[in-house]
């Protein structure tokens, strides 16, 4: 066992991170939008990663939620439709001083691309390198997701290193024992040597399955798929004094708000030492 952290004072301050696929404009999206806003306001996370965020002409849902809830925001579109786009967003309590994104391997038959979004966040105790992604959704697309994970790892590795390890969120559409998740967690060959991530649920969940796609949600049940854990908050190896170490993780956004389910996915909420 390593003794590299022996006799160091453990960081007790924390950052709260939320990850949530909010299901674009499917279903009763106007009512769901209000349920999403209410849930985000209640949870009051410091940094939020959203997937399947809609954009329309000169606005997007991330900008609207940021204004309503008091967050800085960035958005990147992975598909531009005739009227409405689709992409990933980051909302942050603290300023986002830089951001960029890359498109990942593969494209869905619908024309949806997949991307990784990076936000460099100027938090009160140092820079947080924050990443948000959304991988291909089909069961049989593990081979594509593995290519996407390799793209993602190289993208993260190319960013400036910080005292706080990188934080990676997303709807990976992959179960914990899939090859693509094993690649990220250092359980098989890593796309970038030395770059691996800890899984918040594995480290600090309650020991249950942690399903984020669950058939008690009627939107999920309509797809006739099994319950799965496919949405993640990950962080690189903890830094000095435990920076980036997960201390708590739970599934949330898993109940209706005023009789409206906010999304077909549940959200993941985690607290990290920071």
Residue 36 has pLDDT above 80, yes or no: yes
User: How would residue 82 be classed by pLDDT, with cut points 50, 70 and 90?
Assistant: low
User: How would residue 260 be classed by pLDDT, with cut points 50, 70 and 90?
Assistant: very high
Residue 271 has pLDDT above 80, yes or no: yes
Percent of the chain with pLDDT over 70: 95
Tell me the fold of 14-273. Deoxyribonuclease I; Chain A (3.60.10)
User: How would residue 188 be classed by pLDDT, with cut points 50, 70 and 90?
Assistant: very high
* Per-domain boundaries in the chain: 14-273
Percent of the chain with pLDDT over 90: 89
Radius of gyration over alpha carbons of the chain, in Å?
A: 18
Claim: this prediction has a pTM higher than 0.85:
yes
Cα 88 from Cα 21, distance rounded (Å) = 9
């Amino acid at each position: 066992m390593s003794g590299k952290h022996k006799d160091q004072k453990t960081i007790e301050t924390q950052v709260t991170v939320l990850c949530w696929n909010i299901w674009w404009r499917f279903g009763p999206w106007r009512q769901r939008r209000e349920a999403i806003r209410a849930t985000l306001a209640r949870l009051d996370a410091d940094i939020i990663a959203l997937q399947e965020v809609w954009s329309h002409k000169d606005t997007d849902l991330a900008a609207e939620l940021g204004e309503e809830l008091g967050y800085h925001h960035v958005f990147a579109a992975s598909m531009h439709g005739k009227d409405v786009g689709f992409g990933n967003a980051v909302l942050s309590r603290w300023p986002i001083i830089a951001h960029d994104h890359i498109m990942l391997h593969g494209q869905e038959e619908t024309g949806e691309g997949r991307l990784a979004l990076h936000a460099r966040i100027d938090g009160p105790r140092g820079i947080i390198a924050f990443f948000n992604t959304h991988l291909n959704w089909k069961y049989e697309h593990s081979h594509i997701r593995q290519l996407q994970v390799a793209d993602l790892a190289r993208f993260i590795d190319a960013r400036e290193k910080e005292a706080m390890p990188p934080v990676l969120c997303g709807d990976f559409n992959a179960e914990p024992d899939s090859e693509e998740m094993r690649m990220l967690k250092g359980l098989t060959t890593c796309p970038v040597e030395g770059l691996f991530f800890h899984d918040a649920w594995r480290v600090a969940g309650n020991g249950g399955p942690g399903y984020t796609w669950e058939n008690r949600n009627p939107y999920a049940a309509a797809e006739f798929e099994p319950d799965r854990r496919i949405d993640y908050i990950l962080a690189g190896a903890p830094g000095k004094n435990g920076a980036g170490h997960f201390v708590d993780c739970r599934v949330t956004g898993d109940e209706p708000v005023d009789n409206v389910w906010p999304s077909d996915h549940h959200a993941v909420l985690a607290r990290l030492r920071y």
